[in-house]
């Protein structure tokens, strides 16, 4: 195996207990494994690469990774979500749901999203997409193709088709109702099991399987109980979106007689294999203790909730109780540095000071916390024997300001695209900011065209099937009728 050595002004190593900073450090790896982290490696090296003034560190782990052309951005400053056709209406449900994309477009959205993840220094991802735009949920065949895309790009992924037994929809009077189809939920679970058995460990272990039911309020007790049993049988991680909205909490308490976390505990779904985005709306210390006692991990996605004025209360308080945190992007942009920065600021505002949450706490969540959530002691760190999942962030950008501490500079002012190189499983998947094999302009043009198709579909789901352009309010009023009606992709975003 070819032995590669990397040098930079700063290297984040791992001493067996914590991250440590090496000045003028080196990382040496052969094949998929790291052999040395430190300074003054004396052994033979086939190729040395010197990145100069840069930070070499472990790849980020994103456990609620945007795998979509994001639809949550369409809700920004857009009035009442009930009127914009993102969620299903009773009319749409009665006519029959349908796919917004072709099978080829479904796979493309992953290619686009996975490229963005790599571009932002993310080396391990558990993707998420919206089910509002689907006929029902995801399929085995679709994810067989997604696994191929991930392997082609070199992204380490935890994959499985999302499944559900219900969907919430708006009634004409503005209230939410719930449509159930238990048979479809069980068919989806069967597809998820088949995918896991066929693909877990595939592509030289770059692809791992996971059980990824939709939000807990769209799953029946039977579906979740069978998910729990299958997770035990396969030793499969399972992600369960919960405690993310007051409507969800009220629905679960009405239907199940307990809080969402209490319900998950009853079903045997709070254990070390459980990954729980987002954990915001809990019922006090008893709920948090359930998470601690079960050994589950919370996946914190601060940016997507802050946009709507919601926040975890708080990262530091939860962490002090012993809860393990991972991070997720969930929404656009796929920038974990931004989530760390905003997460730090939000935590300190919620906590009324800076004593409970530190810069390193956020960085740990994006690396070591994600690895712990996955049960992996070979990810999220640079140490001999760990996987060679390595990122290089330039420290030369003027926007970073005068350098005083590489990690603090990056979290205060850095961007995901400060990542200039990425190695996953020892393979260089990005060099000088270019993801290998990707034509950025062509990728962006197709994404723009496909995003307009996504926006058009909102008219189908809204009551009365209005013109889709009328559903989206610009930040600044249009000056004339032409600009108000022009399709978005009429302007090449790269010109």
pLDDT tens-digit series, residues 406-458? 999 999 999 999 999 999 999 999 999 999 999 999 999 999 999 999 999 99
pLDDT bucket at 79, cuts 50 / 70 / 90: confident
Residue 117 near residue 125, CB atoms below 8 Å: yes
Which residue did the predictor score with more confidence, 481 or 214? 214
Give helix then strand counts, H and E, for the chain. 17, 20
Token pair recorded at residue 318? 């939860």
Coil/strand/helix, residue 208: strand
Task: Answer yes or no: is pLDDT of 490 > 60.
Answer: no
Q: Do the beta carbons of residue 37 and residue 13 sit within 8 Å?
A: yes
User: For residue 30, what are the β-bridge partners?
Assistant: 3, 33
Q: Is the predicted pLDDT of residue 216 greater than 60, yes or no?
A: yes
The single residue listed with the structure tokens 């991070």 is 327
State residue 247's pLDDT score: 85
Cβ-proximal residues to 92 (8 Å cutoff; 6+ apart), any chain: 169, 460, 461, 462
Task: Give me the domains of the chain, ranges plus CATH numbers.
Answer: 59-380 (3.20.20.140)
Report the alpha-carbon distance of residue 232 to residue 250 in Å, rounded.
29
3-class DSSP assignment, residue 47:
strand
pLDDT given at position 488: 57
Residue 17: exposed, middle, or buried by beta-carbon count in 10 A (0-12, 13-18, 19+)?
Answer: exposed
Q: What is the pLDDT of residues 80-105, one digit of tens each?
A: 778 899 999 999 999 999 999 999 99
* pLDDT tens track for 347-365: 999 999 999 999 999 999 9
Phi and psi based region of residue 174 (left: phi greater than 0; alpha: psi -120 to 50; beta: remaining): left
- How far is residue 238's CA from residue 118's CA, in Å, rounded to a whole number? 23
Report the pLDDT value the prediction gives residue 474, as an integer from 0 to 100: 86
Helix (H) or strand (E) holding 65: strand 60-66
**Whole-number average pLDDT of the chain:** 94
HSE toward the beta carbon, residue 36, CA cutoff 13 A: 16
Q: What is the DSSP string of 379-422?
A: SSS-STTSB--EEEEES--GGG-S-S-HHHHHHHH--GGGEEEE
Strand, helix or coil for residue 57: strand
Question: Which residues contact residue 244 at a Cβ distance below 8 angstroms, ignoring those fewer than 6 apart?
Answer: 215, 277, 278, 279, 280, 281, 305
């Amino acid at each position: 195996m070819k032995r590669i050595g990397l040098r930079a002004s700063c290297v984040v190593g791992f001493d067996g207990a914590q991250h440590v900073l090496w000045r003028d450090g080196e990382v040496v790896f052969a094949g998929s494994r790291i052999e040395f982290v430190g300074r003054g490696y004396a052994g033979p090296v086939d190729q040395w690469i010197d990145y100069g003034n840069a930070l070499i560190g472990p790849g980020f782990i994103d456990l609620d990774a945007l795998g979509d052309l994001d639809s949550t951005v369409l809700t920004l400053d857009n009035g009442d979500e009930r009127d914009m056709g993102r969620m299903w209406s009773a009319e749409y449900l009665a006519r029959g749901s349908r796919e917004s994309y072709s099978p080829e477009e479904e796979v493309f959205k992953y290619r686009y999203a996975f490229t963005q993840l790599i571009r932002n220094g993310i080396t391990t991802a558990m993707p998420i997409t919206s089910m509002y735009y689907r006929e029902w949920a995801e399929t085995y065949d679709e994810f067989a193709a997604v696994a191929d895309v991930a392997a082609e790009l070199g992204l380490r992924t935890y994959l499985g088709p999302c499944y559900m037994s219900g969907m919430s929809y708006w009634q004409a009077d503005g209230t939410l109702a719930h449509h159930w189809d238990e048979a479809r939920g069980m068919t989806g679970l069967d597809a998820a099991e088949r995918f896991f058995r066929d693909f877990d460990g595939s592509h030289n272990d770059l692809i791992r399987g996971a059980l990824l039911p939709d939000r807990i309020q769209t799953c029946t007790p039977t579906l979740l109980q069978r998910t729990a049993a299958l997770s035990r049988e396969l030793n499969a991680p399972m992600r369960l979106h919960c405690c993310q909205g007051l409507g969800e909490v009220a629905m679960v308490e009405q239907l199940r007689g307990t809080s969402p976390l209490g319900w998950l505990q009853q079903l045997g779904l709070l254990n070390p294999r459980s990954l729980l985005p987002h954990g915001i709306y809990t019922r006090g210390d008893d709920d948090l203790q359930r998470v601690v006692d079960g050994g589950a991990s919370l996946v914190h996605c601060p940016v997507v909730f802050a946009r709507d004025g919601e926040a975890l209360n708080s990262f530091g308080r939860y962490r002090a109780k012993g809860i393990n945190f991972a991070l997720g992007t969930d929404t656009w942009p796929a920038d974990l540095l931004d989530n760390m920065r905003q997460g730090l600021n939000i935590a300190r505002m919620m906590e009324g000071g800076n004593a409970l949450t530190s810069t390193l706490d956020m960085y740990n969540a994006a690396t070591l916390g994600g690895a712990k959530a996955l049960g992996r002691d070979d990810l999220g760190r640079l140490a001999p024997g760990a996987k060679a999942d390595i990122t290089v962030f330039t420290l030369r950008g003027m926007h970073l300001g005068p350098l005083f501490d590489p990690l603090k500079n990056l979290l205060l002012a850095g961007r995901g695209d400060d990542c200039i190189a990425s190695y996953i499983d020892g393979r260089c998947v990005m060099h000088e900011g270019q993801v290998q094999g990707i034509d950025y302009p062509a990728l962006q043009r197709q994404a723009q065209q496909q995003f307009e198709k996504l926006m058009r579909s909102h008219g189908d789901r809204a009551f009365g099937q209005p013109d889709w352009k009328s559903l989206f309010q610009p930040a600044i009023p249009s000056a004339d009728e032409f600009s108000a009606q022009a399709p978005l992709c009429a302007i090449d975003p790269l010109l």
